[in-house]
Amino acid sequence: MTEPANTAHDEDGPLVSLCRKGDTDAFETLVKRHQKKMLNIAFRMTGSYEDACEIVQDAFVAAYGNISRFEERSRFSTWLYTIVVNRTRNHLKKAETLAGRREVSLDDPVRSEEGGICLEPVSAAPSVLETLEQREAQARVRQCINGLDKEFKEVLVLRDMQGLGYEEISSMLGLAAGTVKSRLFRARESVKNCLKKLIGRP
């Protein structure tokens, strides 16, 4: 019997096997290994650190409870990404139903995965003006990304911010690779056009 595709290259495989035997320490290792990336995805898609924490916590609980159903036809991280994305989608739908789409204030500080305030990467002592310019530019990009429809925003986050491949994104979202590429192109064009308007260029 041949081994499922990607299983041989999945470094999480041995830990997953231990989890299936009830090894909670192995699952804790998986959590520590993947929680930052998962939290980053949920945060980028929701704009809320608190919501992202809740989503990721629920996703890990669901993953542990369903570990026996993981068929290893994809990497464990891909399976986990799928759970996080689906939980995030459900969260956004629920939020829209209850209170309408929540707007993210551009004046709010960006929170890191650890809960601290995330500033731009510090170079060798940037000036106050440089820091302000960087923050203003990043705020404009966030504004344009937050203005995307969910189906375009999620592919942009997964591809351009998380660096996932087209096949992996296709598997996660249940979309054809061509659809992923089309949505990504439209998302990038929308962000580019939005930035042009914000900075006053034709």
Alpha-carbon dihedral angle through residues 145, 146, 147, 152, given to the nearest 10 degrees: 60
Helix (H) or strand (E) holding 57: helix 49-65
Q: How far is 14 from 31, CA to CA, in rounded Å? A: 14
The terminus-to-terminus CA distance of the chain in angstroms comes to: 60
Tell me the pTM: 0.68
Say if CB 72 and CB 10 are below 8 A apart.
yes
Q: Which domains does the chain have, with CATH numbers?
A: 1-104 (1.10.1740.10), 119-202 (1.10.10.10)
Question: Which positions ≥6 away from 116 have C-beta within 8 Å?
Answer: none
Q: Where are the beta strands (DSSP E) in the chain?
A: none
**pLDDT tens track for 49-73:** 899 999 999 999 999 999 988 887 7
**pLDDT tens track for 137-166:** 777 888 888 889 989 999 999 998 888 899
Question: Quick check: 84 pLDDT over 90?
Answer: yes
How large is the average pLDDT for residues 104-127? 51
